[in-house]
């Protein structure tokens, strides 16, 4: 059956099993137990659960290994038993699924967050997933089911680990919150682009509320992929009735929604939290004999960051790659890279985004440096500061791979030539990391003169890429621009080559347009004319300088003329106030990451040779006050720069430490919070702002003590007894500390008595409680009652994925917060701050 999974999925809907945790609890597992260990110590209980699902109609049985990674097992002191526990679980599932059922190794999140939000690296996650997956594969699993991933970076590490260490088909499920994004800000389309590039068997979503909540997510995914789609909804959102967890969706309701999910494009349907064999039986009966819906999505070449994508094609908005992060002939930028500061690198990235660049080229080619380490730092600092796709530009394969590992998204590799030695190094990297790749029309004899010869090189690159397992939409071709000053007769050969590649291969096309004007005056005039010609020939993605207003104007005009600016909307927005005698203006979209105003002036230097206007070079370098600079540094998450700004402000002596806090730092973190509330920031940006605030506060805090400044309030935080989840609580702690609260974090799985005793010792203003498991929610009631019995003055604030305002009211809690940002606002409200 496993050998023909793709064929089966074209013929009928396959049924996954349902919940495991709640089933184990119903069969005697106590809160706080390790489910994976309990399953192998109570083998017949686990076997019976699997068997019930199989008899209910599940085609695929998922192993009891959701928390079987080294990181998760370490929380129970079981890190040295990864192979044993996973292998035993696969063996039990294999026996229950026999003779015809499939066994999927269930791989859940590690409970860790990638830097800078957390403390683990890509390599850490990759190693943990590889270890678990190898154990499952060797024990006889038929496929891998990655589940409940809240961060696309962690999903990416899991998918790469699966592809590199096993030969098993993979189903990849993300988990989405109420707003249609993951906890770290990824929307369904961006998730599709990143996951699909790693070529799993199926992609989809699980948990995320009930089927009605997941339906729009699956519909959106289906519009953008031709891969099979898998979905595992909860049996609704849980609540407590007389201390017992109740999932509201009946088997009949889930069966009805299963039909709607099938129509939306799902090929594999099962259940998550709260579903039972009865639910799965109802779903299986409803879908019996039904063929999957046809896959009709039209896919495009696309690049993506963690929470933003750029689609590239003739009926998509025009896109280009900003070329400014390249140290060639730029001494200050080269020195910044050599010194390892990367502040000018980040500034250049930010300025290009402000001017409308949708993708950034990142080149660290400074002689004599460790380019691998430089690429690592540049990529991480750029993606920490900005949410934008990148092109990793290097001739050093190790530097390319370092960039690929550390960029959370789908980047472009810039580049490979048509020479075998380069293709054999770069193409496997693109396949491994799900990157797009740019092929230069350079053969063994260099750059061919004639367009037909360049097409031959492009054909070779294209064919070799397919042989390595890349898809058509992964391939871009650069036909290479020669300079009009030295090879004028070659200029139009490039335009012809672009046209031929587009017609013959149909892949994405790239050109470094500005090369055409090298050595000539008024370069921006030539550049913009050539750019317009290239667009007409089929160019998809020019590499260009977004500070050149003539080229930006050419892009806007071309978008109208090629019908890629509907109703000329963006053109009108940019030129509605245009007058012939006005200075030209660069009008760009509001940079949501930086809150930069959408209109800046740029004088065009038509007599210079650089093609870059003087004022465009200094965009955002206005005479901001010291306070504004500190505020913007916090808002933008400039961790490397904030210490310098704070020290300078203190040395100047014009601002008191308390003024810096109240008039610069707090407004910065407040605005970051407001951006988060408006969905213009996501968790990574909010955490970067908080970390920057933390660095600033570390310098200011000793001086505030001298001034007599006290804490805003004391908050005791804990994950309640029996619950070992603490990611959300840890994020809350970071934000609260940066708003001036003294946070006493007791950790996870904390007994009620310990929480109450510590709250009394600290004379806490607030007790903040977290729970992710419905079975541990009753501990919160105990703590609320204990506060009253002891006569403590602390208010109780509760939160967690399984909680809501209704439950908080039911147990008598003083407040409920749905996420880290609302926890800060709620704490301030409880203490009467900033009313």
Which residues carry a binding-site annotation? 207, 272-273
Helix (H) or strand (E) holding 766: strand 766-770
Residue with tokens 């709640």: 22
Helical pair 343-354 and 639-652, crossing angle rounded to 10 deg: 100
**CB within 8 A of 203, min separation 6: which ones?**
171, 172, 173, 174, 191, 192, 195, 196, 221, 225, 227, 228, 229, 230
- Cα gap 527→286, rounded to integer Å: 61
Nearest to 823 by CA among 746, 718, 731, 713: 731
Binding residue numbers for Zn(2+): 207, 272-273
Q: Residue ranges of the alpha helices (H) in 288-408?
A: 331-339, 343-354, 371-385, 397-406
DSSP 186-249: --HHHHHHHHHTT--SEEEEEEEEEHHHHHHHHHHHHTT--SEEEEEEESS--EEETTEEE---
- Cα gap 254→234, rounded to integer Å: 9
Tokens coding 327: 């140290």
**CB within 8 A of 644, min separation 6: which ones?**
none
- Going by their DSSP bridges, the two strands 585-587 and 599-601 should be labelled as antiparallel
Nearest to 437 by CA among 447, 448, 427, 451: 427
- Cα gap 830→781, rounded to integer Å: 19
SS3 at position 69: coil
User: Torsion-angle region of residue 591: left (phi > 0), alpha (psi -120 to 50) or beta?
Assistant: beta
Distance between first and last Cα of the chain: 63
- Cα gap 494→537, rounded to integer Å: 10
């Amino acid at each position: 059956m496993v050998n023909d999974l793709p064929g089966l999925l074209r013929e009928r809907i396959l049924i996954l099993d349902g919940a495991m945790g709640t089933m184990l609890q119903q069969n005697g597992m106590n809160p706080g137990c390790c489910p994976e260990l309990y399953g192998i110590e109570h083998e017949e209980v686990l076997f019976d659960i699997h068997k019930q699902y199989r008899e209910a109609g599940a085609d695929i049985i998922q192993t009891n290994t959701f928390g079987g990674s080294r990181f998760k097992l370490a929380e129970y002191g079981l890190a040295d038993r990864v192979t044993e526990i996973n292998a035993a679980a696969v063996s039990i599932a294999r026996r229950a699924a026999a003779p015809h059922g499939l066994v999927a190794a269930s791989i859940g999140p590690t409970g860790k967050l990638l830097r800078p939000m957390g403390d683990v690296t890509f390599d850490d996650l990759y190693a943990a997933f590889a270890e678990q997956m190898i154990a499952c594969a060797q024990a006889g699993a038929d496929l891998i089911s990655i589940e409940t991933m809240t961060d696309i970076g962690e999903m990416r590490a899991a998918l790469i680990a699966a592809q590199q260490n096993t030969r098993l088909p993979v189903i990849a499920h993300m988990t989405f919150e109420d707003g249609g994004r993951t906890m770290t800000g990824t929307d369904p389309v961006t998730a599709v682009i990143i996951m699909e590039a790693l070529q799993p068997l199926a992609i989809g979503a699980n948990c995320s509320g009930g089927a009605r909540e997941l339906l729009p997510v699956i519909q959106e995914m289906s519009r953008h992929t031709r891969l099979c789609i898998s979905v595992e909804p909860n049996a609704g959102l849980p609540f407590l009735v007389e201390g017992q967890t109740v999932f509201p969706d009946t088997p009949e309701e889930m069966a009805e929604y299963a039909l709607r999910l099938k129509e939306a494009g799902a090929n594999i349907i099962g259940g998550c939290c709260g579903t039972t064999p009865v639910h799965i039986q109802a779903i299986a009966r409803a879908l019996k004999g039904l063929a999957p819906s046809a896959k009709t999505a039209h896919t495009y070449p696309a690049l993506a960051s963690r929470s933003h994508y750029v689609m590239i094609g003739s009926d998509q908005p025009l896109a280009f790659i900003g070329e400014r992060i390249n140290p060639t002939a730029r001494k200050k930028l080269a020195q910044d890279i050599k010194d390892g500061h990367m502040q000018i690198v980040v500034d250049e990235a930010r300025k290009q985004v402000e001017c409308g660049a949708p993708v950034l080229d990142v080149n660290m080619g400074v002689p004599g440096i460790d380019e691998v380490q430089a690429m690592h730092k540049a990529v991480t600092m750029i993606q920490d500061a900005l949410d934008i796709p990148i092109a990793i530009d290097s001739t050093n394969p190790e530097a390319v791979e370092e960039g690929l590992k550390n960029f959370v998204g789908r980047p472009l590799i810039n580049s490979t030539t048509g020479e075998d030695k380069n293709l054999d190094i770069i193409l496997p990297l693109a396949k491994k990391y799900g990157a797009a790749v740019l092929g230069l029309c350079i053969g063994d004899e260099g750059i061919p003169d004639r367009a037909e010869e360049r097409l031959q090189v492009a054909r070779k690159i294209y064919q070799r890429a397919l042989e390595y397992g890349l898809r058509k939409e992964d391939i871009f071709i650069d036909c290479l621009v020669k300079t009009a000053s030295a090879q004028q007769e070659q200029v139009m050969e490039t335009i012809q080559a672009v046209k031929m590649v587009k017609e013959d291969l149909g892949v994405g096309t790239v050109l470094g347009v500005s090369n055409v004007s090298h050595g000539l005056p008024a370069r921006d005039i030539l550049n913009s004319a050539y750019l317009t010609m290239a667009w007409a020939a089929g160019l998809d993605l020019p590499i260009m300088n977004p500070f050149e207003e003539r080229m930006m104007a050419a892009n806007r005009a071309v978008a109208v003329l090629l019908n890629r600016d509907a109703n000329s909307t963006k053109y009108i927005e940019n030129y509605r106030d245009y007058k012939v005698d006005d200075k030209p203006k660069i009008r760009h979209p509001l940079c949501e990451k930086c809150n930069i105003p959408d209109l800046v002036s740029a004088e065009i230097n038509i007599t210079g040779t650089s093609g870059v206007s003087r004022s465009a070079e200094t965009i955002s370098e206005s005479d901001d006050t010291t306070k504004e600079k500190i505020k913007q540094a916090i808002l933008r998450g400039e961790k490397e720069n904030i210490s310098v700004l704070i020290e300078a402000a203190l040395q100047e002596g014009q601002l008191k430490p308390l003024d810096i806090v109240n008039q610069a730092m707090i407004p910065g973190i407040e605005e970051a919070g407001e951006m988060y509330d408006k969905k213009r920031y996501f968790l990574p940006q909010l955490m970067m702002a908080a970390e920057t605030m933390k660095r600033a506060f570390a310098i200011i805090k000793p001086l505030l003590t001298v001034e007599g400044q006290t804490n805003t309030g004391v908050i005791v935080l804990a994950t309640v007894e029996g619950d070992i989840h603490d990611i959300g609580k840890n994020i809350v702690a970071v934000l609260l500390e940066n708003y001036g609260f003294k946070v006493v974090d007791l950790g996870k799985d904390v007994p009620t008595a310990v929480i109450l005793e510590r709250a009394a010792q600290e004379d806490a203003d607030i007790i903040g409680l977290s729970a992710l498991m419905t079975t541990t929610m009753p501990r919160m009631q105990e703590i609320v009652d204990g506060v009253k019995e002891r006569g403590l003055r602390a208010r109780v604030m509760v939160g967690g994925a399984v909680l809501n305002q209704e439950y908080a009211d039911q147990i008598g809690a003083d407040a409920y917060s749905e996420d880290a940002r609302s926890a800060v606002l709620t704490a301030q409200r409880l203490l009467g701050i900033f009313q």
